[in-house]
């Protein structure tokens, strides 16, 4: 127990210090970027060039950290340089291209709209609440958004404005935490290399969805940790006659906690996953359970006896992970579970109804003609060659197999009318194979070094080539994220501005719409339910919506389809009195206001419905309300640009 407390305490202490460094580096970097009036990324190469300079500076810090480690000098400074280099890389690679806009990657478009809405909701109040619907607990895990909301509240920022700095800050923190975890599992210089490389891959391919990217970067070391917790050959009895006797005496080294430190660490990762991203939590649990099964088989097969005795310690550790993960998960899931058990019915849940082309085939990044493809190919070769002897290769390899099994299962369940969203796992696979590739290059390079009779300049050549290759990939990240960055400049922000200085969209009228709603309703935003098809308005202001953007992001307890039918029924009514009666009899909290678009003699709403298995999986349709339905003193209308704001005076 003492060793367990020491291990966990030391790890958490180092994690706190690393987090502080990442926060300082990211905060200073983002503040420095904001002091200069930069040109828009999509119309100038200035920010791209400064990004490259910053990446080179971070590479210098990382090389210095590895050099100090190799010289066995100033280990504390080496760690500090590694944390600063990794967090600085995230900050400059994402922050500099976005320096001239207040929006994050993808702006407030498509999926980023509902994510911004969620952050806005939890900035307005720390209470766990659905992003859209009044009176419902959240269905989508609130962890990342809750902390972001608290950061926004602390800094006095609106939720939409805090999205970019919080996304970059959280990715910087997650990246240095990945380094801390790797440094507990492997030699220190390799930990710097693998953390830096996987961070680069994560930024390139996972960063647009920041709340999942924080798990992507931690997935690989967490899987190695989980395998170390479940497969403990040093604690097993020797195969042979003795193995059939009484319970063995475990040969536990006094320098270890018998795998319980790894068990706690894995449980924490699973719990944080459950708090942040349900899909990745499910995949992580699947991988860990698969590890438990393989650990038992690897222990039992040489003996062919004592199956329960060998399975019991594995089950105990799995249960320990599950209990810890469950406690953390309940911090965000308890309100939804209580509501569901208390009589709430999940009448609509189409979250898994999406099958793009990438989800219909196995991802094979090792055969892409690119630097990352080459690294993943090296990683694949290393995983196969070292699977019999390396615990790292076993842990990473089982995780890779788990992702491929999940992908195949996702394709199989399409027969049943759903999917398992396997296409979203590709960034995890890329990071897993990239981590394996680093180990493959390190071990392969060492083998070549010895085979060539240890030439004097070999190490220097290897280091220079590796650093230049990493920089070649890193400086191409703005190209990889070009569409996402461009959208951040072409979308209109909450101030009504476009960062590329071109004419803003109708979003520029949202501020006036907000003012009209506040004046007409006379109540705070979070006391008002608005029916509008311009759900981006809810991303900037914390009103509740009567209907969500799509059914895929709607709370299952909200009955998306039922609400859509009700809206259609309202539009077919014949008089204001009938509409008022229908609103009074509405089975849900009825709208206090409508925000329409005007078209001739009608007001229109452009809504959506699920059309899975088609791709795209959403069909848009228009519902038209005759303007005569609102020709009554109990409805107050205000025309604002393309919008008509109608409030209900009950």
| Residue range 542-553, pLDDT digits in tens | 999 999 988 988
Q: Cis bond leading into 262, ω under 30°?
A: no
Kindly state the average pLDDT of the residues 162-168: 98
Burial class (CB in 10 A: 0-12, 13-18, 19+), 565: exposed
Query: And the tokens for 68?
Result: 């100090």
Q: Is the pLDDT at 540 greater than 90, yes or no?
A: yes
Q: Is the pLDDT at 9 greater than 90, yes or no?
A: no
463, 396 Cβ separation under 8 angstroms: no
Question: What is the pLDDT confidence band of residue 309, given thresholds at 50, 70 and 90?
Answer: confident
256: helix, coil or strand?
coil
Which secondary structure element, helix H or strand E, spans residue 626, and what is its range?
strand 618-626
Kindly state the average pLDDT of the residues 40-66: 95
Q: Which pLDDT value is given to residue 452?
A: 84
Q: Which pLDDT value is given to residue 237?
A: 59
Q: Which pLDDT value is given to residue 110?
A: 82
Q: Which pLDDT value is given to residue 496?
A: 95
The pLDDT mean for the chain works out to 92
Whose structure tokens read 């209580």? 338
Whose structure tokens read 């992702």? 403
Distance of CA 499 to the CA centre of its chain: 25
Q: Which pLDDT value is given to residue 239?
A: 54
Dihedral Cα 393, 399, 403, 409, nearest 10 deg: 120
Query: pLDDT tens-digit profile of 465-484?
Result: 999 999 999 999 999 999 99
Q: Rounded distance, CA 540 to CA 505, Å?
A: 14
Q: Which pLDDT value is given to residue 350?
A: 85
- Taking the alpha carbons at both ends of the chain, their separation in whole angstroms is 64
Q: Is the pLDDT at 83 greater than 70, yes or no?
A: yes
Query: pLDDT tens-digit profile of 324-347?
Result: 999 999 999 999 999 998 877 776
Kindly state the average pLDDT of the residues 205-234: 95
Q: Which pLDDT value is given to residue 253?
A: 42
- Least Cα distance to 364 among 352, 353, 372 occurs for 372
Query: pLDDT tens-digit profile of 360-401?
Result: 999 999 999 999 999 999 999 999 999 999 999 999 999 999
H-type alpha helices, 387-509: 391-412, 426-451, 458-474, 477-480, 482-490
């Amino acid at each position: 127990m003492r060793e367990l407390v020491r291990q966990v305490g030391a790890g958490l202490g180092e994690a706190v210090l690393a987090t502080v460094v990442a926060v300082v580096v990211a905060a200073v970097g983002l503040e420095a970027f904001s002091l200069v009036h930069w040109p828009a990324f999509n119309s100038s190469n200035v920010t791209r060039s400064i990004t490259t300079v910053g990446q080179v500076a971070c590479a210098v810090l990382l090389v210095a950290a590895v050099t100090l480690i190799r010289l066995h000098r100033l280990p504390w400074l080496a760690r500090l340089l590694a944390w600063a280099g990794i967090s600085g890389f995230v900050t400059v690679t994402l922050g500099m291209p976005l320096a001239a806009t207040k929006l994050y990657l993808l702006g407030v478009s498509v999926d980023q709209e509902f994510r911004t809405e969620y952050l806005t909701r939890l900035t307005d109040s720390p209470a766990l609440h659905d992003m859209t619907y009044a009176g419902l607990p959240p269905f989508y895990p609130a962890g990342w958004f809750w902390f972001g909301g608290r950061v926004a509240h602390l800094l006095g920022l609106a939720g939409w404005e805090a999205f970019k700095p919080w996304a970059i800050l959280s990715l910087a923190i997650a990246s240095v935490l990945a380094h801390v975890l790797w440094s507990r599992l492997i030699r220190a210089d390799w930990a710097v290399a693998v953390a830096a490389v996987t961070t680069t891959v994560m930024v390139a391919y996972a960063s647009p969805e920041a709340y999942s990217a924080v798990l992507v970067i931690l997935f690989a070391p967490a899987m190695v940790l989980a395998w170390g917790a479940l497969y403990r050959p040093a604690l097993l009895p020797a195969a042979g006659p003795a193995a059939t006797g009484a319970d063995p005496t475990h040969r536990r080294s006094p320098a270890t906690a018998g795998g319980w430190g790894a068990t706690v660490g894995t449980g924490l990762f699973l719990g944080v996953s459950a708090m942040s991203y349900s899909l990745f939590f499910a995949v992580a649990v699947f991988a860990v359970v698969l590890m438990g099964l393989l650990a038992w088989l690897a222990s039992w097969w040489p003996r062919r006896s004592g199956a329960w005795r060998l399975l019991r310690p594995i089950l105990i550790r799995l249960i320990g992970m599950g209990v810890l993960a469950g406690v953390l998960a309940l911090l965000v899931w308890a309100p939804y579970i209580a509501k569901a058990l208390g009589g709430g019915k999940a009448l609509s849940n189409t979250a898994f109804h999406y099958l793009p082309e990438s989800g219909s085939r196995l991802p094979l990044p090792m055969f892409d003609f690119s630097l990352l493809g080459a690294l993943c190919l090296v990683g694949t070769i290393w995983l196969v060659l070292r699977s019999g002897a390396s615990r790292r290769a076993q842990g990473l390899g089982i995780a890779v197999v788990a992702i491929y099994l999940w992908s195949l299962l996702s394709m199989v369940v399409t027969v049943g009318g759903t999917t398992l969203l396997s296409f979203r796992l590709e960034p995890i696979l890329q990071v897993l194979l990239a981590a394996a590739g680093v180990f493959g290059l390190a071990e392969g390079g060492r083998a070549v070094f010895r085979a060539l009779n240890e030439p004097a300049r070999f190490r220097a050549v290897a280091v220079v080539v590796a650093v230049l290759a990493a920089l070649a990939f890193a400086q191409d990240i703005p190209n990889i994220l070009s569409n996402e960055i461009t959208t951040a400049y072409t979308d209109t922000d909450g101030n009504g501005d476009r960062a590329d200085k071109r004419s803003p969209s109708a979003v520029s009228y949202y501020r006036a719409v907000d003012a009209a709603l506040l004046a007409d309703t006379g109540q705070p935003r979070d006391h008002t339910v608005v029916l509008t098809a311009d759900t981006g308005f809810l991303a900037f202001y914390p009103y509740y919506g009567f209907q969500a953007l799509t059914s895929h992001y709607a709370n299952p307890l909200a009955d998306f389809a039922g609400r859509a039918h009700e809206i259609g029924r309202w539009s077919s009514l014949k008089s204001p009195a009938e509409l008022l009666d229908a609103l009074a009899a509405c089975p849900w909290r009825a709208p206090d206001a409508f925000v329409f678009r005007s078209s001739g003699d009608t007001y229109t709403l452009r809504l959506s419905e699920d059309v899975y298995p088609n791709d795209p999986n959403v069909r848009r349709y228009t519902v038209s309300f005759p303007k005569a339905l609102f020709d009554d003193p109990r409805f107050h209308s205000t025309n604002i640009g393309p919008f008509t704001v109608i409030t209900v005076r009950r």
